[in-house]
Amino acid sequence: MCDTDHNEPVHHHQYSRRQAIGIGAAAAAAAAVVPGLTGRQAAYAAEEVSPDHYEAPTGLAKDSNAKDTALAHVDRNADAVTGLNDTIWEYAEPSLAEWNSALAEAQFLERNGFRIQWAVAGLPTTFVATYSNGTGSPVVGFSGEYDALPGVSQQKGSTEHDPVYEDDPYSPNYGYGHGCGHSALGAAAAGAAVAVAHALRRHRLDGTVKFFGSTAEEQLVGKSFDVMKGVYDGCDVFVDWHPGRNTSTGFGSNNALKAMAFNFSGTHGHGGSPLGNKNAQNAVRALTMLTDMLREHHVAPSGRIHHAIRHSGEAPNVHAALAGAWYFVREATPERVAILADKVTDCARAAGLAMRMEVHERTVANIWNKLPNKRGAELVHDNMVQIGAPEFTDEDQAYGKGLQAAAGIAQNGYSTGVADLRPPGETFLGGGSTDVSDISWIIPTLSLGTPVSPSGTANHSWLTTGSTVSHAGHVALLAATRYLAAVAVDLFTQPALVAEIKAEHAARTANVQWASLLPADFQPPAIEPPDWFLRRTGQKWPNSHITWPPERIVGHTKWESLGPPIPPGNVQPYE
């Protein structure tokens, strides 16, 4: 869900990165910080690097027979990897309901020797796939995501906006699509995990490959909940990637986030007889007006407030008794996001008070900002340079330019070459978030991106949806598969490098005691699985981890009194 490419240059200097992302106590989460870190971001406590005097090291990525085996496996099985992407792309299933997509990914791994455990912490479309050889140490984790986005569907092959149209005469929709490229993300990671497992087996190397299939990344639910429940414990290094617009890696951070749902209980009533009714839609409108007014004085350049009205009035002549909005609040650190989220909550309460309605508040996600790893980024970058950038055909570039023309942006096609590895800039202006961030605080996390979409386009758009299933998208996702596999083999064959990456992680976290930002009794949003999915995955519902059914929101708001009747106009009751 991260909205920017790795190491995207920042040119506006409003305040320093240290000021913007200085981590103090994560007030809302009981995350204690040892005094002495004042004025410095925990993510950079180990080492500050001057952008003007940095040169990425070489020689970290080592040639080996095991790496050759893994890369050859990727090349031989390229059609299977791109086919997995295309299958999941066609399913285009929403967060928390990726029944077919999760099953397709798990079966791909199971066919290649992995043992599958479903719903380890309770969310039904999550799974852990494990392959172990020899002593089983070290343990390298891969990340799989497979949820699609609402309203960003696109017909395959078209460079014009051509959505899967869902007709409704009053409120048409465009259908779900992989506008963040998660079909490619999960497929490439699964392909790399299988290739590395093959190399371990072929060359009798010690180690364990773990693949974590994760639900609802777009809602920032799955990983943060699983991290809190200990699902990722025991990994030595975690390797991640995300579709982007260039071939790059980095060691910057991103925004922490708090997601909240506010639902207002009004009263039913007739639109033609409004007096005394309490239309819950009006409370939502009041909330959005108040949060928009926060922006001038309360939202720093690194902050973000955005919302979706998920339920409101269904017809003009039926006043809604229940209406609500779902908010994402982002800031540079948990401490800062907690402060901004409190202000948004105050707006919701004020809207309920002004409209004289009940307001129901629920936290649906809380995540940290990402903790980077410099040495890990250097290893990734060296492998990218050695393997080389994705090679797009003339037809690929023509397709990319067609998408750019439709978007009205510069028509320069897909990015070529490997971006230089650069330290984070002096200024942090915020941006995207991902629940991978919670993993990064307990496990050293390495990340990368490849140009699944042409330059200048945006994730969470039909442009990315279309590009993800194109030949160019296949080229980029296979490049990511190779990079992931090569990096993982280096981790299995270079124990000193793993030790260095872990030592850096320990140094960066030495002054920060991490704790989940989720409440201890947090119940994640969940959807009841269909019977066929439960049978095929061997699950039962409800399981021991999820409270079911969820708590119902039933309002008890009363109709409004307008006071005693007004006396006739010709009567003067008072002197």
Chunked into runs of 10 residues, the chain (575 residues) has average pLDDT values of: 46 33 32 31 48 88 98 98 98 98 98 98 98 98 98 97 92 96 98 98 98 97 96 98 97 94 95 93 97 94 95 91 97 93 98 97 95 95 98 98 98 97 84 94 97 97 98 98 98 98 92 89 96 98 94 91 82 59
CATH architecture of 256-367: 2-Layer Sandwich (3.30)
- pLDDT at residue number 76: 98
Closest-CA residue to 402 (of 391, 414, 390) = 414
- pLDDT at residue number 45: 38
Q: Which residues contact 35 (CB under 8 A, 6 or more apart)?
A: none
Q: Are the CB atoms for 245 and 177 separated by under 8 Å? A: no
Q: Are strands 322-331 and 256-265 parallel, antiparallel or unpaired?
A: antiparallel
- pLDDT at residue number 425: 77
C-alpha torsion 272→275→281→286, nearest 10: 140
Sketch the domain layout of the chain as residue ranges.
17-253+373-508, 256-367
17-253+373-508 and 256-367, same CATH topology: no
- Beta carbons within 10 angstroms of residue 58's beta carbon: 11
Helix, strand, coil content of the chain in percent (nearest 5): 35, 15, 45
Closest-CA residue to 108 (of 92, 86, 123) = 86
- pLDDT at residue number 571: 61
CATH topology of domain 17-253+373-508: Aminopeptidase (3.40.630)
pTM, two decimal places: 0.92
User: DSSP character for 420?
Assistant: P
- pLDDT at residue number 40: 36
- pLDDT at residue number 5: 52
Q: For the chain, how far is it from start to end, CA to CA, in angstroms? A: 69
Closest-CA residue to 127 (of 94, 99, 89) = 99
- Beta carbons within 10 angstroms of residue 134's beta carbon: 12
